[in-house]
Chain A
Amino acid sequence: MSAASPPTAPSSKSWTVRTRERVVEALPPEKLLPDGQPTYVASWIYVFGVASIAALIVIVASGSILALKGPAWWHYTGVGHFFNSIHLWGVELFFFVMVVHLWGKFWMAAWRGGRARVWITGAITFLVAVPTALPGYVSQQNFDAQWIATQAKDGINAVGVGAFFNVTNFGQMYSWHVLLLPVAVVLLVGAHVLLVRRHGVVPPFTIDDRKAALASSSAAAASPAPPDGSSSPPTSTGTRS
């Protein structure tokens, strides 16, 4: 065998290199997996974003067990009914904490600072989660499913969607519910979280100018004014704990 020759620099970067560089540039490891957050993240409202993800994990885990055992399992076994109940309450909690999370982000104007895509992916996740739950309700194989299917068909048919999303077809609804729509929700949540990591958590509003002026004038009375007479710029709130 001949001796190993030294690696030669490629004349042009391959697509894998370009992709890797672009990904690392957009999401360097310290942003992707941070070990600290700004001090203003110490607020109860931030719990609801994490709680939404936790509820989604419970839903996917309990739903996977129900899917593995088959759609009829939970009707005739206590264990199955238990997992169905976990799935149901996971969904109820998921929507509850997600709505609180959305309202919280609205009042924080969390789209500021180039974060519009973070808001948009969150809003679309909510809107996709609704039709993800619906085929679950009509796949229950009980009276609830029968009634909801016969009622929901009219709205869905009215906009033409019933042509390919037939809520009275159990097999089709089961497929949408256990695979197609959950994949969409999980991908959207993943994109949402990655965008949060990339742009960081939105900082608080600075207090209004009038109060800032009052505060600076009080400070000026207690200490010498800066040589140029200007007020101090807002201090960074991005200190890491």
Chain B
Amino acid sequence: MLTVLFSSPDDPPSTIARWSRQQPINFVADATKELGGTSDTAEYGPPYNHNGEGQHAAFLYPQKWLGVSHPIDTTNDFVIGPLSTIPADPALRSAVAEYKAASEARKKAWGEAYAKPLEEYETASEEGKTPPSAVSTDPATGAVIVKASGAGPVPALMSGLLGLAQSGGLDGDLLTSKQFFQTDYTKPLLFMADGGLLDERAEAQHLLGEQWGMMNETGSYPGQAWLWLYALWYQVEPFKASENADILVMLVMGVLSLVFICIPFIPVVNRLPRWIPIYRLIWREHYRAGRGA
């Protein structure tokens, strides 16, 4: 009956193509961070890279101990690699070569020069202020124009990547590996998660962390209500503000799970059912019939 009355949700997935068309400036801002190695994924640490230690609790560093199992180099995997697949574009090929040949310091300077007006634009948009004129879009072509001096080949790289993304090519490029059949969506998902489209859709669907996160489901469906206790910890201190919230919450839930399993052996807790006589309600017919003595 629930099936007939309520069906089940099926909101279409986001794609990089859709994101880059709907929010080209946000896409370019994120791609610039991927190129410069300053995005969330780039600085994540294990299991994606060695650019961070990951979360820890006291002396426990399980994220670090298990190592890098799904290596991701955002500069090459998300930007340079896909751009290298675009044929017959000498200017782009030259820009890629120039970037690859530059020193790390030079790359960083280029990236920061290009990222600064984009960050100012994003901040102004989030705060509802008038965005700076240094960043604009061309409605006819969907291209993003960033007035940034000293950015070297980065504008050319970003222009090429935006075009590839808007054509749908980047969705495929991020899945490409040695096999024809693909099932691992780690790279495109992490690339999109670094940007703003998933967050925007999630907020509209009450799915953000402060809205009890993944426990909810799109639409007005009950979702994973059994995760209420897990989601609860993220709403309270000290977990809420902790940089290690995830491991702390997981450890708390691990301890509580152990307690749950061991209830028969825990003094006081295993006597609660005797002291709080809810059993009289459960077996009321039995006691009413006078068989409880």
Contacts and interface: CB of A to CB of B under 8 A. Distances in A.
A11 B173 CA distance: 70
Given A119-B263, A154-B246, A85 B69 contact: no
Contacts of A123: 260-261, 263
Interface in A153-184: 154-155, 157-164, 166, 168-172, 174
Given A43-B283, A81-B10, A237-B286, A205 B274 contact: yes
B282 interface: yes
A201 B38 CA distance: 60
Contact of A163 (B10, B67, B251, B292): B67
A106 B54 CA distance: 38
B248 to A, nearest CB: 9
A15 to B, nearest CB: 32
Interface of A, secondary structure class, is helix
Contacts of A216: 293
A127 B261 contact: yes
A120 B261 contact: yes
Interface stretch (B78-86, B93-101, B201-209): B201-209
Contacts of B282: 43, 45, 104, 107-108, 204
Interface string B56-79: 000000110111011000000000
A235 interface: yes
Contact of B8 (A88, A149, A204): A88
A85 B8 CA distance: 5
A132 to B, nearest CB: 11
Interface in B40-68: 46-47, 54-55, 62-63, 65-67
B270 interface: yes
B13 A169 contact: no
B184 A85 contact: no
A130 B254 CA distance: 13
A163 B47 CA distance: 6
B-side interface size class: 35 or more
B18 to A, nearest CB: 11
B149 interface: no
Contacts of A217: none
Contacts of A81: 7-8, 10
A81 B263 CA distance: 41
Contacts of B65: 160
Interface string A5-46: 000000000000000000000000000000000011011010
Contact of B185 (A85, A124, A169, A237): A169
Contacts of A92: 2, 222, 225
B245 to A, nearest CB: 8
Contact of A215 (B7, B226, B293): B293
B190 A168 contact: yes
Interface in A60-116: 74-75, 81-82, 84-89, 92-93, 95, 99, 104, 106-109, 111, 116
A84 B10 CA distance: 10
Given A107-B278, A166-B70, A116 B273 contact: no
A4 B165 CA distance: 82
Contacts of B141: none
A106 B292 contact: no
Most buried by B among A86, A109, A143, A168: A143
Given A40-B286, A124-B261, A157-B46, A164 B69 contact: yes
A84 B8 contact: yes
Given A75-B10, A89-B2, A235-B293, A107 B263 contact: no
Given A144-B218, A159-B63, A204-B283, A212 B13 contact: no
B133 interface: no
B67 to A, nearest CB: 7
Nearest to B62: A160
A170 to B, nearest CB: 5
Interface of A: 39-40, 42-43, 45, 74-75, 81-82, 84-89, 92-93, 95, 99, 104, 106-109, 111, 116, 119-120, 123-124, 127, 130, 133-134, 137, 140-152, 154-155, 157-164, 166, 168-172, 174, 204-207, 211-212, 215-216, 234-235, 237
Given A142-B13, A166-B47, 18 more contacts: A42-B286, A43-B282, A43-B286, A88-B3, A89-B6, A92-B222, A107-B273, A108-B273, A133-B224, A137-B214, A143-B12, A144-B10, A144-B11, A145-B13, A147-B198, A151-B207, A158-B55, A166-B186
